């Protein structure tokens, strides 16, 4: 698979939002990595150094009322975003083609706002 998105930089985008999300009471799981060079079935790991050829990263965010947002970003430039906000409001959120890790920030923010509301969704500065 062609690498369109640098997943290490995408992990920085997730990390740069963690503090704001946690401030508003959301629980942010550890970033998971999938190794494209590992045999099938590929396992998800949280230790980046154990991944030779990252082909996806993911994060799970939970909030009040058992709301859940699950985001997986693939190096090929697409994302899978599933959510559960309420019993009557759950599914998959559309995301545009992703051209870079930085470009994924805005759609990621919109997904968080969609599932958990607008308060506190801003990105924190990263070094």
Q: Is the peptide bond before 41 cis (omega within 30 degrees of 0)?
A: yes
Separation in Å, CA 69 to CA 21, 28, 39, 40, 50: 12, 10, 28, 26, 25
Each residue's pLDDT, cut to its tens digit, for the chain (127 residues) gives: 677 899 999 999 999 999 999 999 999 999 999 998 888 888 999 999 999 999 999 999 999 989 999 999 999 999 999 999 999 999 999 888 888 888 888 888 899 999 998 754 444 434 4
Q: CA 72 to CA 121: how far, in whole Å?
A: 19
- What pLDDT shows up at residue 51? 94
Region of 61 please: left (phi>0), alpha (psi -120 to 50) or beta: beta
- What pLDDT shows up at residue 123? 43
Q: What is the pTM of this model?
A: 0.86
- What pLDDT shows up at residue 124? 43
**Tokens read off for 122:** 């801003």
Judged on CB neighbours under 10 Å (0-12, 13-18, 19+), 15 is middle
- What pLDDT shows up at residue 58? 95
């Amino acid at each position: 698979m062609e690498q369109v998105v640098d997943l290490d930089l995408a992990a920085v985008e997730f990390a740069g939002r963690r503090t704001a999300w946690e401030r508003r009471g959301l629980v942010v799981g550890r970033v998971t990595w999938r190794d494209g060079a590992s045999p099938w079935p590929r396992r998800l790991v949280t230790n980046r150094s154990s991944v030779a050829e990252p082909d996806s990263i993911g994060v799970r965010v939970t909030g009040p009322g058992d709301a859940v947002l699950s985001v997986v970003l693939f190096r090929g430039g697409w994302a899978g975003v599933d959510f559960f906000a309420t019993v009557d409001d759950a599914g998959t959120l559309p995301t545009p083609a992703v051209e870079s890790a930085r470009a994924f920030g805005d759609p990621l923010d919109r997904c968080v706002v969609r599932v958990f509301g607008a308060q506190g969704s801003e990105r924190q500065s990263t070094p």
